[in-house]
Amino acid sequence: GKNTRRKEKEPMEGEASRTKTVCVTGAGGFVGSWLVKRLLSTGEYTVHVTVRDLGDRKTGHLRALEGAGERLRLFKADVLDYASVAYAVSGCGGVFHVASSVPADKPQNPEVEVLAPAVRGSQNVLKACHQAKVGRVVVVSSAAAVAMNPGFPRDAVLDEDAWSDEDHCRTAGMWYALSKTLAEREALAHAEKTGLDVVTVCPPLVLGPLLQRVANTSSLVLINLLKGDRDTVEDKARNAVDVRDLADAFVLAYETPEASGRYICGAYRKKLSEMAGIVESFCPDLARPVKFVEGEDDRMMSSKKLQALGWKFRAVEECLRDSVESYKAAGLLE
């Protein structure tokens, strides 16, 4: 009889398959891991990931992701080592530059420990992307590159034209903010100079469930609040975003042809006391007597530009509930 076997989809040739091969730098971290999960979940992307350590402790949670067996390729690379980065991005149509160290509170030598790595890492990734003729690079920056500027009026709602003041960051010892500002400026200048297509995304505090059993710096803000082992907590209003919505934003920034420039990616703004109250409403056992003291609020900022691309985000309650469930499961609230 007739051949009824379903004709398998032809593998895409050349350019088409290249746009579906992407690289994620710093994929072992909280944000990178969720982005890898999101890219694999489409079933369309082959994902190269760079990690500094291929050991199971750092990559087990990536290898366990659905689709990883077929479409995940791990590369041992450090963004400070150009050759290792170039090897990982070759053949990729898109690159997500997530790798970035969140420094110790008081670095001994900020120039060496924080600033040089951020800027040089950024330069290496962009140079490698330019050489590999990558179609678009999505650079993960931070709201810390937007808002640290005492010149802005307190009631201003900041948009993508706002930049942190480098001198102020230096004087105030805000090394993370300074490193993100310098690296993002470097990325956009590189785009201007070489014609490389670069889009940057600036998230504030990133919360949401963990994919690994270690707490990253941003999650500790909420974990420390809930453990209640601090005598006093500065009750600041914090801009925040769920890590899953942030991963969606990266993919949107990559896949939407008209995306360009910077995108602020914040979903909601809540005082820490409000966040604690929301958590207590569904987890009464986590109620802790916390003494809140006045703190300096995060500046208001707008994600309208990103929402115009079609970005949607989940409610704060869902973000906090899922975060707390994952902290409990990982034994981080004991």
108 CB-near residues (< 8 Å, 6+ apart)? none
Answer whether residue 283 is part of any domain: no
| CATH number for position 64 | 3.40.50.720
Distance between CA atoms of residues 315 and 237, nearest Å: 17
Contact 79, 85 (CB under 8 A): yes
Torsion of CA 273, 277, 279, 281, to 10 degrees: 180
Contact 191, 134 (CB under 8 A): no
Domain count, the chain: 1
Answer whether residue 259 is part of any domain: yes
pTM as predicted: 0.93
Contact 77, 51 (CB under 8 A): yes
How do the pLDDT tens digits run along the chain, 334 residues long? Answer: 544 444 444 444 556 677 799 999 988 899 999 999 999 999 999 999 999 888 888 899 999 999 999 999 999 998 889 999 999 999 999 999 998 766 656 778 888 888 888 899 999 999 999 999 999 999 999 999 999 999 999 999 999 999 999 999 999 999 999 999 999 999 999 999 999 999 999 999 999 999 988 888 899 999 989 988 788 899 999 999 999 999 999 999 999 999 999 999 999 999 999 999 999 999 998 888 888 999 999 999 999 999 999 999 999 999 999 999 999 999 998 8
Contact 141, 201 (CB under 8 A): yes
Answer whether residue 1 is part of any domain: no
The residues pairing with 262 across neighbouring beta strands, listed in sequence order, are 200
- Per-residue confidence (pLDDT) for residue 8, from 0 to 100: 42
- Per-residue confidence (pLDDT) for residue 111, from 0 to 100: 83
**Residue 180 annotated in active site:** yes
Answer whether residue 332 is part of any domain: no
- Per-residue confidence (pLDDT) for residue 104, from 0 to 100: 59
For 102, the token pair is 């969140």
Answer whether residue 93 is part of any domain: yes
Distance between CA atoms of residues 22 and 47, nearest Å: 5
Helix, strand or coil for residue 201?
Answer: strand
Angle formed at CA 145 by CA 140 and CA 148, multiple of 5 degrees: 155
Answer whether residue 231 is part of any domain: no
Question: Domain limits at 189?
Answer: 18-206+240-267+300-313
> Catalytic residue among 20, 37, 180, 270, which?
180
Answer whether residue 172 is part of any domain: yes
294 CB-near residues (< 8 Å, 6+ apart)? 234, 235
Q: Tens digit of pLDDT for each residue in 149-183?
A: 999 999 999 999 999 999 999 999 999 999 999 99
